[in-house]
Structure 1
Amino acid sequence: MRIFLYALLCFPLSFFSQTTAKVVGISDGDTITVLLDGNVQKKLRLAEVDCPENRQPFGKNAKKFTSDQVFAKKIMFTEMKKDRYGRSVAKVYYDNGKYLSAEIIKAGYGWWYYSYSKDADLGAMQNKAKTKKLGLWQDKTAVSPWDFRKEQREKAKQKRLQKQGVI
């Protein structure tokens, strides 16, 4: 019982501790790969932001922005949780405390992921970028990544049903 209580008390401290790493890869605007001590690579999904998919308008721009900000740099990150794909969702800080997700939103290369964030300041940053027509906000018909992914799933489902002769 004592071990269980000790683990329960220590878990939040260890779970939310900051880790230093070097960024060695950029998958897209909101997913990076870092190199930890011992030459271990870890994929991080940025918390509180959702960038356009690579196949979406501004997807490559978002990836380039993220790369310009952190590629080959030392960063600090705090893991928040695991997502449904097993990636670590993390808050990433660089250049003496800049919060990467906030910088992406301010530059107009990502949406505030309000479904997974309670930080209204990020929403205000998004609105400011939108008003200034920065990044993806130049496109009046910009589609959020979550809506884009939903459309892609629906299209794939329709194709499967057509192949099966159901439709």
Structure 2
Amino acid sequence: MPAAVLLCLVIAVGDGDSLSARCDASQRPLQVRLATIDAPELRQAFGQAARSGLQGLCLHQRAQMHTLGHDAYGRTLAHVRCRGQDAAAAQVGAGLAWVPSRQAASQPQLYRLQQQARASGAGLWAQRRPMPPWDYRRRHGQP
């Protein structure tokens, strides 16, 4: 999928970094993964809170999506804005998602938000040793 800007209605939120949306006149929902962040898995500590955070911002809202391509599971990777806010920044700033180290250099504003959330003990950073979702998936056999 070439980069495009889509105007969509968010119809479901899967977890803290993925959602489904109806875009343009398409009848088939678009499965979207927020680019540049990784939220806790639903069964992981703060997984439900991360999902609730994204629901509160985007569910049943119009969203602007700047598509970047697809991930390994066929979901559309996109920068998503709901209610005028960048969804990834909102999740990271609330302590509900990580900025993977491979993204830190290209996303310095998100990394700064993560550092601020960590310093203030927001969300998952209230834990003594929060487990990144990529480690959780590896330990529990999830892709």
Flag structure 2 segments of 5+ consecutive residues without an equivalent.
none
Point out the structure with the larger helix share: 1
The alpha-carbon deviation at position 100 of structure 1 amounts to 0.5
Aligned partner of 2:49 in structure 1 is 61
Q: Where do 4+ consecutive residues of structure 1 move more than 6 Å?
A: none
Specify the structure having the higher radius of gyration (Cα).
1
Q: Specify which of 80, 87, 92 is matched with residue 105 of structure 1.
A: 92
Q: What is the correspondence of 1:16-95 to structure 2 with a 5 Å cutoff?
A: 16-36=3-23, 37-95=25-83
Give the deviation of 1:116 after TM superposition: 4.2
Deviations 1:112-132 (A, max 9, x none): 123246111111110100000
Match of 2:127 in 1: 139
Match of 2:108 in 1: 120
1:137 is displaced (CA, Å) by 0.5
Q: What amino acid sits opposite 2:9 in the alignment?
A: K
| SS of match in other structure, 1:55 | coil
CA distance in 2, matches of 1:48, 1:111: 9
**Residue of structure 2 equivalent to 1:4:** none
Q: Aligned-pair distance for 1:76? A: 0.5
Give the corresponding residue for 1:11.
none
Q: Identical aligned pairs, as a percentage?
A: 25
Q: Deviations over 1:46-81 (max 9, x none)?
A: 001100000100000000000000000000101112
CA apart distance, 1:32: 0.2
Shift of 1:93: 0.9
Consecutive unaligned residues in structure 1, runs of 5 or more: 1-13, 157-167
Conserved in 2, the CA contact under 8 Å of 1:48 and 1:114?
no
What residue number does 1:159 align with? none
**Aligned amino acid, residue 97 of structure 2:** G
Count of equivalent residues: 140
Q: Does 1:15 align with 2:13?
A: no
Higher relative contact order (CA 8 A, sep 6+): 2
TM-score, normalised by the number of residues in structure 2: 0.92
CA contact (8 A) 1:33 1:44 kept: yes
Report how far residue 40 of structure 1 moved.
2.2
Q: RMSD across aligned C-alpha pairs, in angstroms?
A: 1.5
